[in-house]
Structure 1
Amino acid sequence: MNSLEDYFNKFSNFASQLSEEETPFIAICIEKLQENCRRFRNAYPRAKIFFAVKANNHPVVIQTFRDEKINFDVASWGEIQMLLHEGIEPTRMAFNAPTKIPREIKEAFLAGVDIFAFDSIMELEKLAMLAPGCRLLARVVVDNTGSFYPLDQKFGMDEREACQALLYSKKLGLNPYGLTFHVGSQNTDPEAWVRAMEKVAVLRSEVYSQGIDLQVIDIGGGYPARYGKSIPELEEIADRINNAAGDLFPDHVELWLEPGRGLVSDAGILVASIINRAQRGENEWLYLDVGVFHGLIEAWESIGFEFPIRTDKDGGAQKRFVLAGPTCDSGDVISRNVQLPDSLTLGDRLYIFSAGAYTNAMAFYNGISFPRVIRVD
C-alpha cells in the first residue's frame, strides 16, 4: 500500500462489519497481521524476527504471531507469562528490557528463558547472580536521528563501556552472545540503521580481537507505521539494512529484528463515538467516548502522533475541530487541529486508523502491574 488512501480503501468494509458493536473498541484484522509477518520475512530473509510484545499484548495478536512462527521480544515476567499461557516455548523469547526487576530475571530463567539484554555493569552482575550462564546481548547507544520518539538518553552503553562489560561477563561465567541497539521509535530514515550497524560492526571487531566471537546483531525496532505523514516502505528500509549487513558482518552472524508498531499498528482500527459537541471561544470541540488515557496516549501533545481518522460522513463540508476524550482531565486532548465533516453530531462514529500499537497494551504496559494498595490505619 503506497498511500493512506490505499490504506483506508483496504479497510472500508470495517464500518459495515462492526456497525452493531458498542463503542469504543479496537478491531484487529488477523489477515493484516499475517500479511505484515509475510512482508517482514520476505524483506529480511536473513533475519530472525522478534515481535516486541509491549506494542500489543492482546491474546489474538500473540496467537497469530505464534502460529506464524514469529519469536518474541519481552520486557517483563508478566509478558513471559502471557506467552507461556499461549503455549509459546521460552526458547522463542528474548528478555530484552535493558533494566529488569531482579525477581523477574530469576522467574524468567527458571522458566527457560536464557537470552537477556543489559546496558550496565550492575545489570550484568544481577544476571550473573540470577541467570547464571545465560546468553547476553549488550545494548549499545546509537544515534536516534530520524526518529519521532528518541530512546538514546535512557538506554545503551557507549562502545568502550560495552567492550569492557562483555569482557567482564566472561569472568562472571556468562555467555556474551551479541550486540543490540535501537534507532528510536517511528524512525523514517533508513540510514539510521546503517549508521548504527557500522558503529556496532567496529565494536564487534574489537571484541573479536579479544577472543569473543559474537553470534548476533540485534538491530532492534523503530520501523515506522502510517500516521499522518509519509513514511518509507518496509522494503526500502530493508534494502539498506540487508546490504549493510552483507558488507559488515560475517555470514555466520545472525541478524535479529524487534518490530513492534511496524507489525501491528496498521492492523488495528479504534472505533469511537461522539458524545458531545461544544463551542469553546474560537474553537469547536468534539468529545469522544475514548481519549488519551484509554488507548490514545501517543496522541497526547507531549508525543503528538497524528492518527488518520475517517467517519461515515466523509465527503461533506469540512471544519476544524479540537478532538477530546471523555475524562475530567484538561489534558485529555487527542488533537487540537483536525479537519472533520461539519455535520458530525451525537452518536456519529469516528474510525481511528493505525491503532494497533501502544493502544490497548497501555492498560498493562510492558506487562508490569500498578503498585498494590496497602491499608494503613
Structure 2
Amino acid sequence: MIANTPIQKLAPFLQNHTNRETPFLLIDSNRLRATCQTFLRAFSGDEVYFSMKANSTPAVLKIIAQEGIRFDAASYAEIDKLIRMGIPAEKIIFMAPTKIPADIERAYLSGVRVFSFDSAMELQKLASLAPGARVMCRVAVGNEGSEWPLERKFGASALESAALLTKAAQLGLKPLGLTFHVGSQNRNPRAWRAAIEQCAQIWYVLADQGIQLEAIDAGGGFPSNYGKDYPAVEEIAAVIHQALAQLLPPGTRLMVEPGRGLVAECGVLVTSVINRAHRAGQEWLYVDASAYHGLVEAMQGFTFPIRTEKDLAPRAPFVLCGPTCDSTDVIQENVLLPATLGLGDRLYLLTTGAYTTSMEHYNGFQFPSTVIE
C-alpha cells in the first residue's frame, strides 16, 4: 500500500474483509505482480532473486515465482519450502554468509550450487559439504543512507575478500563473484555505486592473480514508502548499471536480491482498538497487533503509515501499543491519530508486506525445543 493512500482509496481493497477477525495481514496480489514486473524491467537481462526472509507466505512466493523472479534463501528450511512448491534448485541461491553445516549439506544435495561466505571457517564448511560449489564473497561496504545498517555483523574487508576467494579456489570451490548489502531501506542510490567501486578493486586484484570472477550480487536494500522521500527502483538500477559499465568488464553478470522493496508496499496490516487509557499525561491506545507478533520492526525504529475510518476527525498524539504483558510492546510513540478512536475501531498499517508475518519463523528457523530432564 502506498504510504499516502487515503482510506477512501483503500475501501475497495478492504471491503471483502470487514467481518474478518483482526489482526490480519492483507496482501494486494495485483500490486505484488506489478512490483515484480517493475523490478524485472528495471533489471532487464539481469538476475532478480527475491530475498524470501522478507515474506515467506507460500501464496506470496507462488505469485513471485509466476512472475519470473528467482529466490534467495537464508536456510535449508526456506530452500525445502521452495523445492516442495516446485521451484527448481537452479533458481535458488543460498546467500546467508553464515550457515548451519547440515543446511549446507542438504542444500547441496538438493541441487543448490551458489553459496555466499565471508570467513575462512565458512569456506572450510563449504569445501567439505558442498564440494565444487560456486561461491561469492560477502564484502563489507558502507551503509550510508540506510535506515537499518548491516555492515557490523556481515562482510569481509577488501583485503580479506581477495585472500578468501584465492583460498576458495585452492579448496576446489569455484569463485563466482562478490556480493554486498548496502543496508536495509537505503534511500541513497550512491551507496550502491560506492560498493561497486570497492568490489571493482577486489575484482582486478584477483584478475592479476589469474582468478576471473563473473558476477556482482548487489544485494537488497531497495527502499519502500514509509512516509519519507525515497528513490524509485529505476533510479537505483540506473546507478548500478552505470557503475558496472564504467568499472567492471563487459558481460559481468548482475544479481540483485530485493526483499522489502518487492513486498512491503503490497501489504496492509489490519488491527483493532481493544483499550484506551490516559497515563502520566499521555493517551495510550491498545490494539490487538503486537510489536512481538509481526511488528518487531517498530521496535527498531520503523514507523508505519496508519489509516482509519475516522481520518477526517481532529488528531491527537497517542502511544500506540500491543496487547502483551510487556511494557516494551510499543508500536509507535507520539503518533497523530483521530482523537475519537475507541473500542473496536480499526487501524490500517500500510507498508507492512515485509518483515511482519515472516518473523514468526524468521529465516525459516524454529525456536529451540524444550527438553525436560
TM-score (norm 1): 0.97
1:188-224 deviation digits (Å, cap 9, x = unpaired): 0000000000110111111111111111100000001
Query: Which residue pairs with 2:60 in the alignment?
Result: 61
User: What code does the residue aligned with 1:110 have?
Assistant: L
DSSP 3-state at the match of 2:245:
helix
Matches within 5 A, 1:286-297: 286-297=285-296
Go from structure 1 to structure 2 and tell me whether the alpha carbon gap of 1:138 and 1:208 turns closer, same or farther (over 3 Å shift). same
Unaligned runs of 5+ in 1: none
DSSP 3-state at the match of 2:355:
coil
Q: Give the stretch that moved more between structures: 285-294 or 41-50.
A: 41-50
Query: How much does 1:11 deviate?
Result: 3.5
Aligned-pair Cα RMSD in Å: 1.3
Query: Which residue pairs with 1:112 in the alignment?
Result: 111
Q: Give the stretch that moved more between structures: 262-271 or 230-239.
A: 230-239
1:264-304 deviation digits (Å, cap 9, x = unpaired): 0000100000000111120011100011001000001xx11
Report sequence identity in percent.
48
Query: Which residue pairs with 1:143 in the alignment?
Result: 142
Decide whether the 8 Å contact of 2:6 with 2:307 is kept in 1. no
Mapped partners of 2:20, 2:244: distance in 1 = 47
Mapped partners of 1:178, 1:312: distance in 2 = 51
Query: Which residue pairs with 1:123 in the alignment?
Result: 122
User: What code does the residue aligned with 2:167 have?
Assistant: Y
Query: How much does 1:7 deviate?
Result: 7.7
Decide whether the 8 Å contact of 1:46 with 1:254 is kept in 2. no
Query: Which residue pairs with 2:351 in the alignment?
Result: 354
Query: Which residue pairs with 1:375 in the alignment?
Result: 372
Query: How much does 1:8 deviate?
Result: 6.3
Query: Which residue pairs with 2:320 in the alignment?
Result: 323
Mapped partners of 1:249, 1:168: distance in 2 = 22
DSSP 3-state at the match of 1:13:
helix
Mapped partners of 1:256, 1:23: distance in 2 = 38
Equivalent pairs counted in the alignment come to 373
User: What code does the residue aligned with 2:358 have?
Assistant: A
Query: Which residue pairs with 1:251 in the alignment?
Result: 250
Query: Which residue pairs with 1:83 in the alignment?
Result: 82
Decide whether the 8 Å contact of 2:3 with 2:351 is kept in 1. no
DSSP 3-state at the match of 1:193:
helix
Decide whether the 8 Å contact of 1:147 with 1:187 is kept in 2. yes
Mapped partners of 1:238, 1:366: distance in 2 = 26
Mapped partners of 2:9, 2:79: distance in 1 = 34
Query: Which residue pairs with 1:36 in the alignment?
Result: 35
- Ranges of 4+ aligned residues in structure 1 off by more than 4 Å: 6-10
Q: Is 1:237 aligned with 2:267?
A: no
Q: Give the stretch that moved more between structures: 9-18 or 333-342.
A: 9-18
DSSP 3-state at the match of 1:189:
coil
Decide whether the 8 Å contact of 2:7 with 2:311 is kept in 1. no
Query: How much does 1:21 deviate?
Result: 1.0
Query: How much does 1:9 deviate?
Result: 6.5
Query: Which residue pairs with 2:338 in the alignment?
Result: 341
Query: How much does 1:20 deviate?
Result: 1.6
Go from structure 1 to structure 2 and tell me whether the alpha carbon gap of 1:235 and 1:6 turns closer, same or farther (over 3 Å shift). farther
Mapped partners of 1:16, 1:50: distance in 2 = 33
DSSP 3-state at the match of 1:11:
helix
User: What code does the residue aligned with 1:375 have?
Assistant: I
Mapped partners of 1:11, 1:250: distance in 2 = 47
Decide whether the 8 Å contact of 1:74 with 1:93 is kept in 2. yes
Query: Which residue pairs with 2:17 in the alignment?
Result: 18
DSSP 3-state at the match of 2:71:
strand
Q: Is 1:332 aligned with 2:322?
A: no
Mapped partners of 1:330, 1:221: distance in 2 = 33
User: What code does the residue aligned with 1:288 have?
Assistant: V
